[in-house]
């Protein structure tokens, strides 16, 4: 009886198999999966050596919000009517050229692969941002966790003293389009979002309580709560207590956010811009074990004056990204750390009357550097004008599968929403083997 009565999924086992069924799984049963969530946490205990190895891996996502232009970065088309004024330059990898606005990355292409054949079909900021942060579209009743939340769960530790998912997004434009979202994984994997200050809100003890009292007050709270929750456990009460249990650990991670702890020389290397400082903070965080940090650089939406905007912003990206890769390499972290550049979409090859480029999701680029990546590889190809993909077309799902594989996570791994298995990427999705080490 119990097995059949919840017939509100579009089926049951065929979800993991049938694409049609998957789409139709609108009625995902939020009702029961919550209780599974508490159990899921237990599964995160590092049980095997391979798990331990996996947990050393880290990701920094450089989120180029608003949509940077592939033509002025990773897929230049010099000389084409759509190519714009900037030239292409040879990189350290024979045969691979990128925009002249990125001379520093050109020298470091041995760490980086470019995917030049994204066709993601959504040229809307909100839709595109959600798609590219989650690797798929939400269904009416299944809100998917984004990349950060999935990796926080896959690579974070239950007893972690550091946050699992940190997101810097100071610019106000576009921040609301794809706020960090843990979807059905719940608030445990929601990001610590920094939007105004480099130090997270409420992470510092108030001056009028001493440290011991602060700790013992928390113990008293736990004790009172434990009495109450006897015979009253559900996923929400559990989340309440888990949240408090993480407070002290998070407070001890305050220094990780403080870039003044870095030698001046290191700060000078990253440079004085906000993006540079946040990427330096991101490096400090992942070095301390934070599995996922997003640094959003907004706002690239160059409807007017595309070339001026990219002339201004690309050199900063070039400099900061190159500095980050150097720094990670020198610390021996690059082989464990995946650096991703991604946006909600790219920009039109066509140049509009304001010398701008508009939204374009049909043929654009992303890069993966470091961990698990075949450096110097270029995957896929756009046509000579950049208007469409002519080789190796991939979407968000394939890119996400590739990221998971690079980190040693199986893209077919299932989460369970109620009894419904939800694989990390949609069934049948293939990772891009050609760029994996």
Binding to another protein, residues 224-283 (CB under 8 A): 224-225, 227-237, 239-241, 243-244, 246-247, 250-251, 271-274
Residue number, 11 or 392, with CB nearest to another protein: 11
Category of 67 on φ-ψ map: left (φ > 0), alpha (ψ -120 to 50) or beta = left
* Residues of span 201-220 touching another protein by CB under 8 A: 201-206, 208-209, 213-214, 216-218, 220
* Residues of span 166-185 touching another protein by CB under 8 A: 170-173, 182, 184
In the three-class reduction of DSSP (H, G, I as helix; E, B as strand; rest coil), residue 347 is classed as strand
Q: Which of 77, 111, 116, 188 binds another protein (CB under 8 A)?
A: 188
How far apart are CB 151 and another protein at their closest, in Å?
A: 17
Written as six digits, the tokens of 412 are 């077919």
Residue 37 lies near another protein (rule: CB under 8 A)? yes
Q: Which of 17, 52, 81, 437 binds another protein (CB under 8 A)?
A: 81
Q: CB under 8 A: which stretch of 47-55, 256-264, 304-312, 420-428 binds another protein?
A: 304-312
Collect all residues with Cβ–Cβ distance below 8 Å to 176 and sequence separation of at least 6: none
Residue number, 58 or 175, with CB nearest to another protein: 175
φ, ψ of residue 267 in degrees (nearest 5)? -65, -40
* Residues of span 358-417 touching another protein by CB under 8 A: none
**Chain Cα centroid distance, residue 44:** 20
> How many chain residues are in contact with another protein, going by CB under 8 A?
107
How far apart are CB 387 and another protein at their closest, in Å?
A: 17
Written as six digits, the tokens of 196 are 């105004």
Residue 303 lies near another protein (rule: CB under 8 A)? yes
Residue number, 57 or 347, with CB nearest to another protein: 347
Strands 165-168 and 292-296: parallel
* Residues of span 137-156 touching another protein by CB under 8 A: 139-141
Collect all residues with Cβ–Cβ distance below 8 Å to 312 and sequence separation of at least 6: none
How far apart are CB 11 and another protein at their closest, in Å?
A: 6
Cα gap 337→129, rounded to integer Å: 23
Residue in the structure block whose two tokens are 């694989």: 423
| Reduced DSSP (H G I as helix, E B as strand, rest coil) percent helix, strand, coil of the chain, to 5 | 40, 15, 45
Q: Which of 55, 73, 120, 302 binds another protein (CB under 8 A)?
A: 302
Q: Which of 159, 211, 268, 312 binds another protein (CB under 8 A)?
A: 312
φ, ψ of residue 399 in degrees (nearest 5)? -65, -40
Q: Which of 46, 126, 304, 428 binds another protein (CB under 8 A)?
A: 304
* Residues of span 91-130 touching another protein by CB under 8 A: none
Distances (CA, A) of 388 to 88, 136, 362, 393: 19, 21, 6, 9
Residue number, 24 or 408, with CB nearest to another protein: 24
Q: CB under 8 A: which stretch of 85-93, 382-390, 397-405, 427-435 binds another protein?
A: 85-93
Q: Which of 31, 39, 52, 437 binds another protein (CB under 8 A)?
A: 31
Q: Which of 298, 320, 340, 378 binds another protein (CB under 8 A)?
A: 298
CA-nearest of 75, 203, 178 to 127 is 178
Give 178's DSSP letter: S
Q: CB under 8 A: which stretch of 1-9, 278-286, 371-379, 380-388 binds another protein?
A: 1-9
Give 264's DSSP letter: H
How far apart are CB 217 and another protein at their closest, in Å?
A: 4
Residue 291 lies near another protein (rule: CB under 8 A)? no
Q: CB under 8 A: which stretch of 104-112, 284-292, 303-311, 390-398 binds another protein?
A: 303-311
Residue 13 lies near another protein (rule: CB under 8 A)? no
Cα gap 400→149, rounded to integer Å: 13
How far apart are CB 211 and another protein at their closest, in Å?
A: 12
Distances (CA, A) of 102 to 88, 158, 375: 9, 40, 17
Burial class (CB in 10 A: 0-12, 13-18, 19+), 181: buried
Cα gap 282→305, rounded to integer Å: 31
Residue 40 lies near another protein (rule: CB under 8 A)? no
> For helices 235-245 and 211-229, what crossing angle results, to 10°?
170
Q: Which of 41, 44, 161, 305 binds another protein (CB under 8 A)?
A: 305
Residue number, 2 or 47, with CB nearest to another protein: 2
Cα gap 149→190, rounded to integer Å: 6
Collect all residues with Cβ–Cβ distance below 8 Å to 430 and sequence separation of at least 6: 398, 401
How far apart are CB 382 and another protein at their closest, in Å?
A: 20
Q: Which of 16, 29, 103, 326 binds another protein (CB under 8 A)?
A: 29
């Amino acid at each position: 009886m119990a097995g059949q009565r919840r017939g509100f999924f579009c089926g049951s086992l065929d979800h993991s198999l049938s694409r049609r069924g998957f789409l139709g799984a609108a009625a995902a049963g939020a009702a029961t999966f919550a209780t599974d969530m508490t159990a899921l946490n237990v599964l995160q205990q590092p049980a095997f050596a391979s798990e331990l190895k996996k947990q050393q891996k880290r990701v920094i996502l450089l989120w180029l919000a608003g949509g940077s232009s592939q033509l002025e970065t990773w897929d230049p088309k010099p000389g084409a009517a759509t190519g714009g004024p900037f030239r292409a330059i040879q990189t350290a990898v024979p045969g691979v050229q990128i925009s002249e606005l990125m001379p520093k990355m050109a020298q470091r292409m041995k760490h980086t692969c470019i995917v030049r054949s994204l066709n993601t079909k959504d040229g809307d900021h909100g839709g595109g941002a959600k798609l590219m942060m989650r690797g798929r579209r939400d269904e009416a009743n299944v809100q998917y966790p984004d990349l950060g939340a999935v990796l926080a769960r896959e690579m974070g530790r239950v007893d972690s003293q550091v946050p699992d998912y940190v997101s810097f997004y100071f610019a106000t434009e576009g921040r609301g389009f794809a706020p960090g979202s843990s979807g059905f994984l719940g608030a445990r994997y929601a990001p610590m979002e920094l939007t105004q200050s480099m130090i997270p809100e409420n992470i510092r003890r108030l001056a009028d309580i001493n440290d011991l009292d602060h700790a013992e007050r928390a113990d008293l709270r736990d004790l009172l709560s434990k009495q109450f929750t006897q015979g009253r456990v559900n996923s929400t009460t559990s989340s309440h207590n888990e949240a408090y249990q993480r407070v002290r650990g998070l407070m001890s991670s305050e220094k990780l956010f403080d870039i003044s702890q870095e030698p001046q020389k290191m700060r000078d290397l990253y440079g004085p811009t906000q993006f540079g400082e946040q990427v330096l903070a991101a490096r400090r965080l992942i070095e301390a074990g934070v599995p996922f940090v997003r640094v959003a650089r907004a706002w690239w939406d160059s409807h007017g004056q595309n070339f001026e905007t990219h002339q201004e912003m690309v050199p900063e990206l070039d400099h900061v990204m190159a500095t980050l890769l150097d720094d990670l390499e020198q610390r021996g972290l690059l082989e464990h750390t995946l650096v991703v550049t991604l946006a909600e979409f790219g920009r039109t090859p066509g140049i509009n009357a304001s010398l701008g480029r508009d939204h374009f999701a049909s043929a654009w680029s992303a890069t993966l550097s470091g961990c698990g990546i075949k450096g110097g590889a270029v995957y896929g190809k756009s046509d000579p004008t950049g208007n469409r993909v002519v080789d190796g077309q991939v979407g968000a799902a394939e890119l996400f599968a590739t990221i998971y594989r690079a980190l040693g996570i199986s893209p077919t791994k299932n989460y369970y929403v109620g009894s419904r298995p939800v694989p990390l990427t949609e069934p049948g999705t293939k990772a891009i083997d050609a760029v994996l080490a």
